[in-house]
Each structure stands twice: as C-alpha cells, then as structure tokens.
Amino acid sequence: MAYVSSAAHQRRNHKGVFRVKQGLLASILLAASGLSPAEVINNGDFLTDTETKLDWLDVTATQNLTMNEVLALTGPGGSLEGWRYATEIELNTLLNNLELPYADPNKVPGDAYNENYPTESEEVEDVIHLLGDTYKYYTIHINPTAPQIVADDGAGFTWGFYEHTNFGIQRARVLDAERIYRSTGADCCNEDDHAYVYRPFDAVNPNFRNDRTGSFLVRDSVAIPEICDNGIDDDDDGLVDGADPECIEGVGLRIRCLHEPIHPNPGDLVNIVAEPLDGNAESVIANTIEIFVDDMAAPAASFSNAAGGTFGFTATGESFGYGCSTERDSHPYGEDAVSWKLDEPVLRTVMIGPRDPNSFVRAVPIMLNGGIDEKIDIVFFPDDSEYTGFDDPEFLEDVYDLIYEGYFTIPWFVSFQYVFNFWIGTDNTANASPSDPDNSSSRCKRDAPELFGLYWSFADSAAIVHTQACRDNAGSPGIFTVEIDAKRMQVVAHETGHRPFGLADEYCCDGGYFTSKRPLLSSEYKPPAPNLYKNEDRCVDDAANRWYDAYQCRPLVDIDTGEDWWIGEPYFKDLEPNKVDQVRDLMQQTGGTTNAAGVVLDRYKVGDSERDRMSWWLNQCVNREC
C-alpha cells in the first residue's frame, strides 16, 4: 500500500510525535524537550515506532477482513504488500513505548489483564485513537443502527488479530469503557469501573470474520525522519537534531502559488507563478508542477523536473479561479502539495476590475478561498498620505509583495494559504503616519478608514500599508500597520500574529504584553492557548496541557511598567547561537537581526508558543466560526 505524506502530515514535531513522559499521553502530544524512552510518530494512516523502527497500520484499514483475506492482500501484488502480522512481543513493545500496561506474553489467552485501569484514563483513549478505533468505525461505517455508540468524550475499543508465538493467530483488544446505549444513554456492558487495557482472548481460525475487528499489521519503517529535539540521530544520516536540515521547520513539500498583478483589470496579462518549497520554505526541484485555471479537470500548464512554473493569460470577464499542485518523488515517503485544502479541492477566486461603486461591500477579493465565516479575512488599505488611492499601481504591487515575499516565505502560512481570504479595501481614508513626525522610531498611527465597523465588519483583521518609517503596531478595532521594507517584508506575519490571532509580543522589553485577547467584536470569551502568562504559576500550571516543560518558563520584563510576564518557549537565539541559518521566531523578533556569529538572519517560522493559538483559529474556521 502506498502512502503519500502531505505537508500537513509532515509537521510531526508539533502534532505528530507522541513522546513517553510522566505516564500521561495527554501531556506528551506536542514538542516537549528532553529525552524519552521512545517516540511514536503519527503519520495519519500508520504509526512509526522509532525504537523498533516498525510502522503500524491503522487497525481499521483491515476491519471486517478474515486472516486469509489479509494474508492475500499482503502477498506479492496485493494492496498491503510489505505488511505482515505483528507478534505479541511487538505489540507489547508498542504499548510499552506508549506507557500503557500490557499483557505478560507467557499468560494463557483468555485471561484478562489490567482490568482495573481507570476508565477515564486519557492514556487509554489516546492509544485507541492512535491504533484505530474499530468500535467507532463499526458504528459509523458498518452498522449505524447499532445499539451502542461511543461517548463523545471517550473512545470505543481497538480489536485486532495478531500472531502469538505459542498460540497462533489471537485476538487482542484495548478497551475504553465509556460506551453508552444509543436509545437510553445508560452505560453499557457493566464496565464503568474498569477498562481492559490489553486483553488477549480467543484463538481464531483463518476464515473467522468479525465486523468490529481488524488486524495488527507491521512493516519495517520506510524511513525514520529526524526528531528535532531528542539528541538522537534518528534517520542515521550523521546529523543530530538542529544540525539536520530537516529540523528548521520539519520536512514537507509546499507550493507557493500566487497571481500577478494582484488585482487585474480586463485586458491585463495575468501570470500565475507556482514554486515548490521544502519545509524551510526554500525552493526545490519537483517532479511535477501543475497550474489549474477555472477548471480542475486538467491543468492549464504542467512542468516536469522544475523549480517553478508560470502560466500567463489575458484577464476577461468578472473573475477567474486558479490553484497549483506539485509532486516530488525523491523524499523517502514521496510528497505532494496543493494550494487548496486536501479534502476540499476548490480553486481560489480573483475578481477582475473594480467593484460596483454602489456595492455595500467596499472591498475587492484578490484571493478568495471560501466564505467569510470559514476563512480568515484580511483587508489591505493604502495610507492616504503615501498612495494616490486603493487603485494606485504602487500600492497594489506592495500588497503583492506582502503576500508573496511576506506571508508566503513562512512555512506555516504557505501550508495554510487556503485558510486566508485577502481583500483590497476600496477606501482612501486610512492613515499610518508616524505619531511623531520627527522620530522614525515612534509608533505608527493606526487611523482606521471611516465607517470601518460598517463596511468592513466582515474582516478578521485589516492592514494599513505604508512606506514611511515608523514602528508598526496592532490593536483595536482589529487593525495593524505594516511598512513596505524589502528587508523586513515578513513583519506582516508578525502583525497578523497580533490581529487576528491575538498573540502577544515575545521580545524584550517594550512589546505589547498580554495573555488572551478576545476576537474582534466579541466579548463572550477569550481564546485558549496564550503565548504569555501573567505570572510564573500560570505558566507552570499550563505546562501539563501544552508542548513545553514547566522548567522552561522564563520571565519577560516590561520596562514601561516593571511587570514580569512569563513564557514557556525558549529564546530562539539561545537554542543554537552560532547556527548560520538560524530561523527567527514569529513573535520573538520583528526586524533584522544577527546571530552570535554576526550572520544576518532573514527567515521566520511560527514557533511552538504561537502554533497552538493559530491551530485553534483554524479549527474555528472549520466550524464556520472564523
């Protein structure tokens, strides 16, 4: 079976690595530092145990198949060629590496082991989700009218065949007892006081079929990717952690895809540029690059073994749609990347020409990926003292540069480009002049367009674009300023971290410090996962729910107020101070900087402290609550 690893799956050091730590799987989901006995990587359809160097296929992939049917599929030419049945020793080792109690392989099948493990245990639930919840799959895909259903906050069970050294093919299960009757809501099975963590039971014949059972299949790992903070050369290339090129932002192909001019008029020549990027947002050669225009059935242009491609056409009509895709075979997993969401293949839309001046919506979509309730909408306005208007060619070119040379040079924003809608605000009343005309270091004004709350209330954030030097900033009502400076185009992403994502500055010692900001026009709640804490106790307490260790909490001093703020993320310059290609953290640095060796650092990444909040925003968008 072939597995294609998308850019989203490659972000393993933040969402895909499961580390053993303090016995609580819930506290090890993200990139905590320090050594651990083993690490299990979630690749989507299969797991990789880095200790045994075995891949584990999701058990639901073989659900409702007999042993003979599975063996036929694992044979030459079968869809599961290369996989085989796991032994009891291998299954025990996997569960051990996930720090779950496991069965003594010398016990007789049919005995129940670890029955008194706590029912509410998050360890049990998470392992079931990792291995494949065969009960949940059964109630959704095989028998939707089944009398039992998995509780929303729990899991069902994983039932699977494995090969016991002494007893042949056996069936084992990992069980969470949080199952209820669909009709009454009552607990079922009298199992509300325990969970079978691992119970081998009943030998089966080769033609035995059960619609709630799959198979535990393994294979030698196709490739072990480098894990970037465990002090081990995981991929055996002689490079450990940060010395491995995979570890700047993680491996993974991406596609930078944008059109120019950013707001075309009828008759303009439009060029769509597609550029494959690696996990560090560096250009790479891909086997295939495709550009689609108005039709996803067949590409308008295709390029082979290239580092990029351009397709040009004349703008006609009211709008056009386009998207880009790329594939690369050289990585051990094989890779592909698209400019749209993988499970929603929809071309983005670009409006041609001016909007009707009588339209209530005073904005032109220059990159529309979906509805305003399911995407992050950012509107660009020109500074009224520096541009002739919103249709000034220089302003439009600067907006293009902010997207292409700003957002789309940062891996996170390239990976999630489909989440954003970009607009041009058809207004000439915004201003971002220096608050002190004689001091280029003074804060930029943040004068919103007139009637901003009326005509642009749909926006999650708005950017006032300017060229005069002043200190960019963000604040109410969801507006930030951004200077056009070739040396710091990525500052637009930093200010976007403030608005709409509600992230605080992380640099010392005169930034904007706060915990969680409420979303624009909302006073009902504050979003979770702050990147700063009001005191050390809160930072330490939240470590159990986040990616960092409590000992990493460090203070930031606000020199204006004398207050201490706390952060769980290390200062990026301290991690590898002499590294020549060190990458700046999105909220820790806003301007040009050098490392300890004096080398200019010109790349950004979304750090761990920002990723949690930004991921929460993406989930809001999935739920149409952007």
Q: What is the pLDDT of residue 28?
A: 25
Q: What is the pLDDT of residue 117?
A: 46
Q: Is the dihedral of CA 331, 334, 339, 342 positive or negative?
A: negative
Q: What gap in Å lies between CA 119 and CA 131, rounded to an integer? A: 18
What mean pLDDT comes out for the span 46-59?
88
Q: Is the pLDDT of residue 389 over 50?
A: yes
199 or 549, which is more confident?
A: 549
Q: Which tokens go with 524?
A: 């009902």
Q: Is the pLDDT of residue 14 over 60?
A: no
Q: What is the pLDDT of residue 401?
A: 96
Is the peptide bond prior to 147 cis by the omega test (within 30 degrees of 0)? no
Report how far Cα 151 is from the mean position of its chain's Cα atoms. 26
pLDDT per position as a tens digit, 448-506: 999 999 999 999 999 999 999 999 999 988 999 999 988 788 899 999 999 999 999 99
Q: Which tokens go with 462?
A: 């708005």
| pLDDT band at residue 141 under the 50/70/90 scheme | confident
Q: Is the pLDDT of residue 313 over 60?
A: yes
Q: What is the mean pLDDT of the chain?
A: 77
Q: What is the pLDDT of residue 566?
A: 94
Q: How is 19-43 classified by DSSP, letter by letter?
A: E--TT-GGGSSS---S--S-EEEE-
Q: Is the Cβ–Cβ distance between 488 and 410 less than 8 Å? A: no
Q: What gap in Å lies between CA 242 and CA 262, rounded to an integer? A: 37
Q: What is the pLDDT of residue 42?
A: 76
Q: What is the pLDDT of residue 600?
A: 56
* Phi (first) and psi of residue 258, to 5 degrees: -155, 155
Q: What gap in Å lies between CA 477 and CA 498, rounded to an integer? A: 12
Within a 10 A sphere around the Cβ of 218, how many other Cβ atoms?
23
Indicate the SS3 state at residue 411: helix
Beta bridge partners of 533: 566
Domain ranges, ordered by start, for the chain: 54-220, 501-626
- In this structure, are strands 376-382 and 420-425 parallel, antiparallel, or unpaired? parallel
| pLDDT band at residue 533 under the 50/70/90 scheme | very high
Whose structure tokens read 């071309």? 347
pLDDT per position as a tens digit, 544-566: 778 777 888 999 999 989 999 99
Q: What is the pLDDT of residue 227?
A: 58
**Cβ-proximal residues to 248 (8 Å cutoff; 6+ apart), any chain:** 279, 280, 581, 583, 603, 605
